[in-house]
Amino acid sequence: MYNFSFQNPTKLIFGEGQISKIASSIPKDKKVLVIYGGGSIKNNGVYDQVSAALAEHQWSEFGGIEPNPGFHTCLKALEQIKADGSEFLLAVGGGSVADATKFIAGAACFDGDPLTILTEGAKVRKALPLGVVLTLPATGSESNPNGVVTRYETQDKMPFYSRALYPQFAVLDPTVTYSLPEKQVANGIVDAFVHTIEQYLTFPVGADLQDRFAEGILRTLIDNGPKALSEPKNYNVRANVMWSATMALNGLIGLAVPQDWSTHFIGHELTALHGLDHGQTLAVVLPGMMEEKREQKREKLLQYAREVLAIEHGTENERIDRAIEETRAFFESLGVQTRLSDYGIGENDIPPMIEALKKHNMVALGEHQDVTPEVSAAVLKRCL
């Protein structure tokens, strides 16, 4: 087990009908900017619940955050903050809205060009306070200090981080996910699953409890994922998915263990160059990564097979093969396809993706920093 420090300040407010709690979670004297995406919250009742909760607050709104939030959209929100004098940001949406709101919160208090937060890793030392009303369980952004913003003109997906960007609170009401399109629910489940895998499927360091927690999230997603699609109004199923997605990336399961975010980083290029949904990219890349790194990850692959998938019989290689197959089958059972060819991407498309990885300095990924561009290319070939 590695040494660590952990402190997650986000207050989690979980359950049906909890959106009303934002009234007491935001100081009454703060001007609020409500930030949201494409407007689905105006059809599913969430906007009305937020409006009702903010009845005694002074607030304005900014809509139009894209699924992969754009830097230029964030700049527009910054202008509105200045015009409105907003002092508290309320993200109402999924991970994209939360990510954008974090970036906006940091940029609003940043001296200098906010682009440098993304391009140079300029440090965000303070930020406007923010909260999240989550509508899509997936990224865990609602209770972590991370985000990703995209520059559309250069096709760059750029991560940022600052402790100042933890949301003060996150409201998780599983019933607001009932009306989500199946595809978004499925992508979210894949995202949470792969977040967990990236903090688990490396090499053993004797962190038993961390492993049990990660396995618990994976099992919960496998047990509940397909039901979330077939029984969309099953409260406990949606609640288990929502809670799992938050716990997958609130920092807890990554403590004390090595991490491997290579699947995410390779996936980012698939989104940037070919427009795949984030969850789709992960469902494609992960099985290929498992194959390519099966020797380095052998012990953990066998543990995953045994503890998560209850695969007990056969040789080691047979068990690993079956674990990879079952992982692929799980994604497919959610309707998320797992081959590049399913998305019309062929071998000739791999070199541009490798160039993009190089451009973004993603040349030494993985828990051993040995996922070089050559290895990434080999992974992508296995994904064809």
Residues that bind a copy of itself in the complex, under the rule CB under 8 A: 1-18, 21, 169, 205-210, 212-213, 215-217, 219-220, 223-224, 235-236, 239-240, 243-244, 247, 255-256
CB 232, CB 183: distance < 8 Å:
no
Which residue, 15 or 64, is less far from a copy of itself as judged by CB? Answer: 15
CB 55, CB 137: distance < 8 Å:
no
Which residue, 156 or 215, is less far from a copy of itself as judged by CB? Answer: 215
CB 92 to a copy of itself: min, Å: 19
Please give the Cα distance from 49 to 78 (Å, whole number): 25
Neighbours of 110 (CB within 10 A): 20
Which residue, 132 or 379, is less far from a copy of itself as judged by CB? Answer: 132
User: Which token pair is 296?
Assistant: 């380095």
Angle at 318 between CA 324 and CA 225, to 5 degrees: 30
User: Which token pair is 197?
Assistant: 């895998």
CB 233 to a copy of itself: min, Å: 14
Which residue, 8 or 341, is less far from a copy of itself as judged by CB? Answer: 8
Which residue, 1 or 52, is less far from a copy of itself as judged by CB? Answer: 1
CB 248 to a copy of itself: min, Å: 10
Residue 139 neighbours by CB under 8 Å, 6+ apart? 94, 95, 96, 98, 99, 188, 191, 195, 245, 249
Q: Which residues pair with 160 in a beta bridge?
A: 147
Compute, in degrees rounded to 10, the torsion defined by CA atoms 373, 377, 378, 380. Answer: 130
**What secondary structure does DSSP assign to 173-216, as a single string?**
-GGGGTTS-HHHHHHHHHHHHHHHHHTTSS---S-HHHHHHHHH
Which residue, 12 or 35, is less far from a copy of itself as judged by CB? Answer: 12
CB 224 to a copy of itself: min, Å: 6
Angle at 300 between CA 299 and CA 301, to 5 degrees: 95
User: Which token pair is 86?
Assistant: 């907003």
CB 218 to a copy of itself: min, Å: 9
Q: Which residues pair with 156 in a beta bridge?
A: 151
CB 263 to a copy of itself: min, Å: 22
Which residue, 138 or 247, is less far from a copy of itself as judged by CB? Answer: 247
CB 273 to a copy of itself: min, Å: 35
Give the phi and the psi of residue 32 in degrees, each rounded to 5: -105, 140
CB 326 to a copy of itself: min, Å: 18
Which residue, 25 or 58, is less far from a copy of itself as judged by CB? Answer: 25
Which residue, 77 or 172, is less far from a copy of itself as judged by CB? Answer: 172
CB 123 to a copy of itself: min, Å: 18
Please give the Cα distance from 143 to 139 (Å, whole number): 10
CB 294, CB 320: distance < 8 Å:
yes
CA 7 vs CA 4, 144, 163, 216, 236: distances in Å: 10, 10, 10, 22, 28
Which residue, 75 or 252, is less far from a copy of itself as judged by CB? Answer: 252
- Provide the 8-state DSSP code for 140: -
CB 210 to a copy of itself: min, Å: 8
